[in-house]
Structure 1
Amino acid sequence: MKKKHISKYHTLSFATIIIFIIVIFIAYNYYIFETKYIKREASRDLKSVSDIRACEISQWIRERIIDGNFIKASVPLRNFLLNPNDRENIIALKKRFEMFSLDSSYTTFRVFNKERDLLYSNKEYSVTISHHLLLSLEKSLESDSVILSDFFFDEFHKSILLELIIPVSNEGEILGFVLIDVNPEAYIYRTLQNYSIAQSTSELLLVRREGDDALFLNDLRFKKDAALQLRIPITAHEVPAIHAIKGDTGTVEGIDYRGERVIADVRKIPSTNWYIIAKVDISEINAPLRDKAFVLIFLVLFIFTILIAFLVIFWLTEKRALLVNELKSQRKMRLLGEYLNAIIESSSSAIYDLDREGNVKSIWNKSAEKMFGFKREDVIGKRLSIVPAEKDNEFSHLMSIIFEGKSFTDIEVERQKSSGERILISLSAAPIYNSQGNASGIVAIANDISERKRQEHEIEKKNMELSAAVLRLETTNEELQTSEEELISAEEELRTQVEEMEKSHRSLMESEEKFRIALKNAKIFVFTHNYELIYMWIYNPPEGLTHEMIIGNKDSDFLEKKEAEKVMQLKRKVLITGIPENCQMELIVAGRRCFFNYTIEPVFDKNNKVSGLLGAAMDITEKKNVEEELFQVYKMEAIGQLAGGIAHDFNNMLAGIMGNAEMLQFKLSNESSLLVNVENILKASEHASHLTSQLLSFARKGQYQRVSVSIHRIVSDVVSILESTIDKKITIEQSLKANPNTVVGDPTQIQNAILNLAINARDAIIKQSGKIIISTETLTLTKDYVEKFRKDIKAGQYVVISITDNGMGMTDEVKKHLFEPFFTTKEPGKGTGLGLASIYGTVKSHNGIIDVYSEAGTGTTMKIYLPLSVAELITEEKAFDIRSIDGHGKTVLVVDDEELIRETTLQILSKYGFEVLTAKDGREAIEIYKENMNHIDIILLDMIMPEIGGKETFKELRNINSNVKVILSSGFSAEGEARETINLGVNGFIQKPFRVNELLKKIGEILNQN
């Protein structure tokens, strides 16, 4: 028995020694690993910062060069150098420089002629050029290119500057040059002072080589006035700045200008002789390591001290460890479920805002109503009454903290409902800043945690009872032997607690399943990363991706390089700064263009260091597509309103021009040489009228008939026209399958729309043999289809007209602007850019839509959808004989706010025997009609007039005489407001500009009515 006891003792001693050696080995390797890890992480952080700042400075330089080239190409600058004494040239030059002076980087603008005489300066300045700039100036003038000089100290301003040198030439000859002072404080120095690294000794340096020295270009964190003053000789091999000017880039270790050992990352800024250095003291990054070393030593000694006791009660400790691990696992699952619930059910939190007096300002959501029992209308503008009286001091203290610019998250406070019931809430609050940057209010988010706190109290109570039982078990081996029955009882109690925890776990799993369903329906992709940005856990991956493709990989493993870099750059920023980020991002996922709302938050370890990320990405592609479609619709409507207004005013002017031209034509003899000029005026006016008709068609305000139209008859007419005009190498095919094929609309506008599309198809294949296919079909768009895919059209039956060619096709950029007025891809002089715009307006006027299917190099298909009609075709009415008009004994009242139109119409009607009265507005027309009602046979009334318009004037005239005969005239068509007036009982409508025969025909028709 004794030998057996000794053997066990020896075995235990040997095991203890082995375990102790293993502990020392692990501690040593952990120390080595931490040393390397800290340096590697510091190097990566420095590299990230230097890369970002180098790119930002490089981009800033490129923007200065672009500005310089824009100024170089400026016409006002060239005119000024050609004639510097011209006042208009000086004013134009000042305006151009004032536009660029909005950029705070630019301070002084100076203009010199080629003899280097100062011609202009926006500020007081020396007339001589700094000797620092002479070499750069010669280089710029020789190459005729814009150059940004190096840093130099300007003696006049006593400050460090850069100079933007802009040569100006005319047809290869240098006229002069512009010097613009660029203040590095405005961007470069500010960028370098934004360290973006948490360490207190971190610093960004900018250096260049000057002779055998490294010259510092910016003021340093620990040495002011160092810019262009501090030099380090090239013999100081250990200084990172010397590594830089020798061309060594990447991570280096050495001694900085203070004599401190540092780790640094060196990068060259592209297109410059500058180097950027991001550095930090090695002693600072190693500070956490020293603390860990003391902790390791303490742990080794502690482990050695208690190892024997732990081995003796090993079996008990194992059992307890299993139970504790099970409890931790269940607690972790519960916390994860709560976190997911916070992401998905964020709207369930009570959210409200307060002003400085504690009054609710404007936010009090339904969750707040539910949580506290107060309706929104009862609390807005009133002091918050959810704080118990004894908590007023606590509430005031929290308010003062927040208005000092601080915020807090998830503090536990007691509040009361409207019923007086006390509840515990988790409160997060932050200040709201006004435009002056002052805290003007508070936004708070509250969650009711009363039930959770009660459960935690119960669990804590049971844990304390468990810990007390375990401590009693561990007291001594003798007590353990004598307390076996107590241990069994404690185990039974633990088993009961575990069963209760399992029930809670099942409830938690059910709740988590509900969260998963919510995530699935909301298209939210939830994920976690480790520090290496490897996906550790995901839920609800985006469409086209699977768990297997994502778990254990990085974004670059399943996304294209460009797409992955966008996402990973955002995540690296959160890793470095430890600040949550929210942004919207466009990505190509599995070949599909998607939009996501990303929310990325850092995950901290027990040392408060970022150890990973937790994120959520909501797929908002469908919402984005709808927004883009609405934007396009609103844009086209706005352009249409502008085009309609321009065309209306232009038609008014054309009416006067054409009327006077026709009167001149009547008065001239047939032998007059001026007749040709008059006819040319009329032809040009007709052409201008056609252009305004196209604009009005686009704006859906042009002349518009409503008759039954056979689409097949129109297509046949279009094909006949095309076959007689286009190149025989181009074949035209028809496939007319629509049955029925009748629509209600304007046959001329529909024919012009189809003909213009066919002509565009011809132009697309004009340099090669090709084919144009015109086809029709009848299509039914259901209500479900329209609501889901085509919200710009109503459900019903449609005739679809397709015009297809195998020409050059179109790029996506061309398709974006296809229907905008004056947009054309044709050579100057070969197109007005109104054809497709008028087609768009025609189709919209007929309650239809037009679709474009095209890719560069593959041809184009244009599809017009027009609502189907079953009405019978209406035949054309018999032409009116103008010779039957006799105005003698008839009186016409002409009402128009345009004097030119009034006078022209008076002359025209007087020539045909009419007696004419005129009125400049509706009010005068009413007075004239009251006085001459028995003599006035008909009134020509303008639609758009100041004060009283045509519609209101007609109502007043009809009140005076219900049988009054009125012809309405307008630069718009008989639609919109004009249609409303016509429906009131107007006898006829004529659109400006009108020819003499059109006006006489309309008057004759109305006068001949019973």
Structure 2
Amino acid sequence: MGDMKNDEASFVTTLNHAAADPFRLLVEAVKDYGIFMVDPAGNVSSWNTGAEKIKGYKAEEIIGQHISCFYTPEDVAAGKPQRGLQIALAKGSFEEEGLRLKKGGAPFWAIVTITHIHDSFGAHIGFANVTRDISERKQAEAMLRLRDQAIESFMQGVIITDPTLPDNPVVYVNDSFIRLTGYAREEVIGKNCRFLQGPETAPEAVDRVRSAIGAGQSCLLELLNYRKDGTSFWNTLSISPLYDTAGRLTHFVGVQTDTSPFKLLEQQLQQAQKMEAVGQLASGVAHDFNNLLTIISGYSELLLGMLPSHDPNRDVVKAISEAGERGAGLTRQLLSFGRKAVLEMKILDLNEVVREAEQLLRRMLGEDVLLTAVLDPNISQVKVDPSQLGQVLINLAVNARDAMPRGGILTIETANVELDEVYAAQHADCTPGRYVMLTVSDNGCGMSLKVQSHIFEPFFTTKEPGKGTGLGLATVYGIVKQSGGSINLYTEPDHGTTFKMYFPAVDEQSHPLPHHQRATQVAGGAETVLVVEDEDAVRAVAVRALQDQGYTVLDAESGKQALRRVEQHQSRIDLLVTDVVMPEMSGRELAETLCLQSPGLKVLYLSGYTDDAVIRHGILQAAVAFLQKPYTP
């Protein structure tokens, strides 16, 4: 008991000395740190202004209270207050960062240092506790972590450089930059960004970046960069300077947005617009061209019929006729490319078209090329024109044969495929859904990027002059597009070429569609034919050919004139041969009027226009007889 009294007396004496010490006055004046004494039992024995500011207690409220009131209930239950004192007693001091409680229970982050205090004789007399509120620092750290997480979660590549160092090296890249470029962090940190440039990076774009960096300014541009594996990608680059509080330039931040998918769509759109423009041009001249060819071919045939078999002029006329046929074929190709050809759509199995074309393709390819067909027996039906699809196979086979001058393998495949939204997003001419894929592949010489960019354009050819019209693949493109499908090319130099065509699958069962009625030769010459055509020369060919066959022919240059001729003739008209598109009254309107007057009147429609005009006039129907110009007698 006496020893305890002596200890208390010693502790009081020490505190009294401290109270008289000028150092105590300094401690009391400190406001940014909470400094207070704790007795050996853990009770608060002194309290400075800083402690009051940080924790909210006045001295008279807290002196005598145990320090556990500053801890969370969870920490108290875990014995943290007592353990801190024990460690300080054993080791001389204890420091901890953690949550503490203010008056009223509000938590705050603090760094707490507990120091063992002893008297001049070395006897333990208590602890000195120094508390610093670090809530703002913690909030700043949390905000920095949030920013780091946000930057790392960017889909865009982020790159930071330091212009205060020589060559403006990279000091930071995020994960998206690594995924986008294929480089590891250690491969780019400390290097200048020029490693992203390549042979096709525009010098003008590089100059803009350098000028902006040199002037410490922002910059936004699109440029072509290169990955570690050598492949290129388009990206929109935004560069922004960072300045410190003194206004000094410290860093540049670059944000890369991969625009390759959008660039691809943009290129596809530009290509489609270019193809559409040429297609419109082709279809625009088709009517006049077809009329001219009708005249050339028609009169050639008439002349051949008039000349004896031994006449030397027959060869000249035959040459004219053959030129007309070639012109007609060229027109058909142009219309196919421009998606304006008149198609006879039919629901069918693509495998049937391939099988029917196989024998012809084998003869055309020759013995040096092995033709292999890999056909899915369970493919869905499609709606296409079988003859036009056969033309697609022929044109692609010719292209493959020319790409394999020393022989090779041509493979034709069919399969059901499901194109998803991801694929559709990368191909502007495609929508998600069920398709039947037709693939034609060869192992020939392949194509360069430059050739690929022009491959479907009309009149583009890599063949020698006189060995190709440049319309083969353009025709393929047009037929596939007009059939509601899409076509994609996959090729590399020396690694062959693959064309993949996708046709929408249909649920209807395949069945043959009725063909258009064709005019048949009528025996004898007692029938009367009314020919209505607004082009005089074309009309003259038709009239002459029919008259040579013994028919009675009436002709008119317009629908209204035709009605007057019928009224004047006052006899039965057996057949109406009429152009579809004419001024004042269309061929369809004329036919309807005459059929009301003469039920059972047969009608044959003629047109040099494309399918748009023919469809608009309601001609492409199963029961309607239609003859496309150019034609021959």
TM-score in same-fold range (> 0.5): yes
1:525 equivalent in alignment to 2:525: no
Structure 1: distance between partners of 2:450 and 2:202: 25
Q: How far did residue 942 of structure 1 move?
A: 2.3
The code of the aligned residue for 1:587 comes to N
Structure 2: distance between partners of 1:486 and 1:512: 32
Q: Which of 256, 259, 279 is the equivalent residue of 1:640?
A: 279
Distance 1:541 1:502, change over 3 A: farther
Give the conservation status (yes or no) of the 8 Å contact 1:852–1:863.
yes
Q: Which residue of 1 aligns with 2:220?
A: 582
Q: Which of 544, 549, 553 is the equivalent residue of 1:907?
A: 544
Q: Which of 367, 372, 395 is the equivalent residue of 1:728?
A: 367
Q: Deviations over 1:631-651 (max 9, x none)?
A: 222222222222222333211
Distance 1:875 1:700, change over 3 A: closer
Distance 1:865 1:488, change over 3 A: closer
The code of the aligned residue for 1:525 comes to G
Q: Which residue of 1 aligns with 2:292?
A: 653
Q: Deviations over 1:94-137 (max 9, x none)?
A: xxxxxxxxxxxxxxxxxxxxxxxxxxxxxxxxxxxxxxxxxxxx
Q: Which of 258, 269, 272 is the equivalent residue of 1:630?
A: 269
Q: How far did residue 573 of structure 1 move?
A: 1.8
Q: Deviations over 1:716-752 (max 9, x none)?
A: 4444234445543433333333434764433322222
Q: How far did residue 779 of structure 1 move?
A: 1.5
Q: Which residue of 2 aligns with 1:681?
A: 320
Q: Deviations over 1:764-784 (max 9, x none)?
A: 222x2x322333232131454
Give the conservation status (yes or no) of the 8 Å contact 2:485–2:504.
yes
Q: Which residue of 2 aligns with 1:942?
A: 579
Aligned pairs for 1:293-372 within 5 A = none
Q: Deviations over 1:428-470 (max 9, x none)?
A: xxxxxxxxxxxxxxxxxxxxxxxxxxxxxxxxxxxxxxxxxxx
1:831 equivalent in alignment to 2:468: yes
Q: How far did residue 823 of structure 1 move?
A: 0.9
Structure 2: distance between partners of 1:744 and 1:675: 44
Alignment: residue pair count: 520
Q: Which sits farther off after the overlay, 973-982 or 925-934? A: 925-934
Structure 1: distance between partners of 2:154 and 2:599: 63
The code of the aligned residue for 1:778 comes to A
Q: How far did residue 873 of structure 1 move?
A: 5.3
Q: Which residue of 1 aligns with 2:454?
A: 817
Distance 1:647 1:913, change over 3 A: same
Q: Which residue of 2 aligns with 1:535?
A: 170
Distance 1:555 1:653, change over 3 A: same
Q: Which residue of 1 aligns with 2:481?
A: 844
SS of the residue aligned with 2:469? Answer: coil
Q: Which residue of 2 aligns with 1:747?
A: 386
Structure 2: distance between partners of 1:792 and 1:513: 44
SS of the residue aligned with 1:982? Answer: coil
Distance 1:589 1:641, change over 3 A: same
Distance 1:550 1:911, change over 3 A: same
Q: Which of 430, 449, 455 is the equivalent residue of 1:793?
A: 430
Q: Which residue of 2 aligns with 1:775?
A: 412
Q: Which residue of 2 aligns with 1:737?
A: 376
The code of the aligned residue for 1:781 comes to E
Q: How far did residue 755 of structure 1 move?
A: 2.1
The code of the aligned residue for 2:176 comes to P
Q: Which residue of 1 aligns with 2:251?
A: 612
Structure 2: distance between partners of 1:486 and 1:797: 78
SS of the residue aligned with 2:467? Answer: coil
Give the conservation status (yes or no) of the 8 Å contact 1:943–1:978.
no
Q: How far did residue 762 of structure 1 move?
A: 1.8
SS of the residue aligned with 1:643? Answer: helix
Q: How far did residue 541 of structure 1 move?
A: 3.3
Q: Deviations over 1:399-422 (max 9, x none)?
A: xxxxxxxxxxxxxxxxxxxxxxxx
Distance 1:508 1:895, change over 3 A: farther
Distance 1:864 1:502, change over 3 A: same
Q: How far did residue 626 of structure 1 move?
A: 2.2
SS of the residue aligned with 1:853? Answer: strand
Q: Which sits farther off after the overlay, 837-846 or 564-573? A: 564-573
Q: How far did residue 585 of structure 1 move?
A: 1.5
Ranked by relative contact order (alpha carbons within 8 Å, sequence separation 6 or more), the top structure is 2
SS of the residue aligned with 2:267? Answer: helix
Q: How far did residue 525 of structure 1 move?
A: 3.4
SS of the residue aligned with 1:691? Answer: helix
Q: How far did residue 825 of structure 1 move?
A: 0.9
SS of the residue aligned with 2:439? Answer: strand
Distance 1:568 1:637, change over 3 A: closer
Q: Which residue of 2 aligns with 1:706?
A: 345
Q: Deviations over 1:191-226 (max 9, x none)?
A: xxxxxxxxxxxxxxxxxxxxxxxxxxxxxxxxxxxx
Q: Which sits farther off after the overlay, 631-640 or 533-542? A: 533-542
Structure 2: distance between partners of 1:834 and 1:602: 53
Q: Deviations over 1:691-726 (max 9, x none)?
A: 111111112222422235554444344442344455
Q: CA RMSD of the aligned region, Å?
A: 4.4
5+ residue gaps, structure 1, are 1-311, 324-483, 997-1010
Distance 1:699 1:616, change over 3 A: same
Give the conservation status (yes or no) of the 8 Å contact 2:441–2:496.
yes
The code of the aligned residue for 1:720 comes to Q
Distance 1:602 1:906, change over 3 A: same
Structure 1: distance between partners of 2:188 and 2:546: 86
Q: How far did residue 924 of structure 1 move?
A: 4.4
Q: How far did residue 848 of structure 1 move?
A: 2.4
The code of the aligned residue for 1:600 comes to I
The code of the aligned residue for 1:859 comes to G
Structure 1: distance between partners of 2:149 and 2:499: 43
Structure 1: distance between partners of 2:611 and 2:486: 22
Q: Which of 890, 893, 898 is the equivalent residue of 2:535?
A: 898
Q: Which sits farther off after the overlay, 809-818 or 497-506? A: 497-506
Aligned pairs for 1:318-717 within 5 A = 523-531=155-163, 532=165, 533-539=168-174, 541-542=176-177, 543-544=179-180, 548-549=185-186, 552-556=189-193, 559=196, 570-591=208-229, 592-605=231-244, 608-709=247-348, 711-717=350-356
Q: Greater Rg, structure 1 or structure 2?
A: 2
Structure 2: distance between partners of 1:845 and 1:519: 47
1:888 equivalent in alignment to 2:526: yes
Q: How far did residue 655 of structure 1 move?
A: 0.8
Give the conservation status (yes or no) of the 8 Å contact 2:160–2:173.
yes
Q: How far did residue 833 of structure 1 move?
A: 0.9
Distance 1:986 1:914, change over 3 A: farther
Give the conservation status (yes or no) of the 8 Å contact 1:710–1:873.
no
Structure 2: distance between partners of 1:907 and 1:734: 49
Structure 2: distance between partners of 1:789 and 1:567: 26
The code of the aligned residue for 2:239 comes to I
SS of the residue aligned with 1:897? Answer: coil
Structure 2: distance between partners of 1:859 and 1:956: 59
Q: How far did residue 673 of structure 1 move?
A: 2.9
SS of the residue aligned with 1:884? Answer: coil
Q: Which residue of 2 aligns with 1:271?
A: none
SS of the residue aligned with 1:817? Answer: coil
Distance 1:595 1:955, change over 3 A: farther
Q: How far did residue 658 of structure 1 move?
A: 1.6
Distance 1:630 1:957, change over 3 A: farther
5+ residue gaps, structure 2, are 1-22, 35-46, 58-99, 110-132
SS of the residue aligned with 1:541? Answer: helix
Q: How far did residue 667 of structure 1 move?
A: 3.2
Structure 2: distance between partners of 1:735 and 1:320: 86
Relative to total residues, which structure has the larger helix share, 1 or 2? 1
SS of the residue aligned with 1:701? Answer: coil
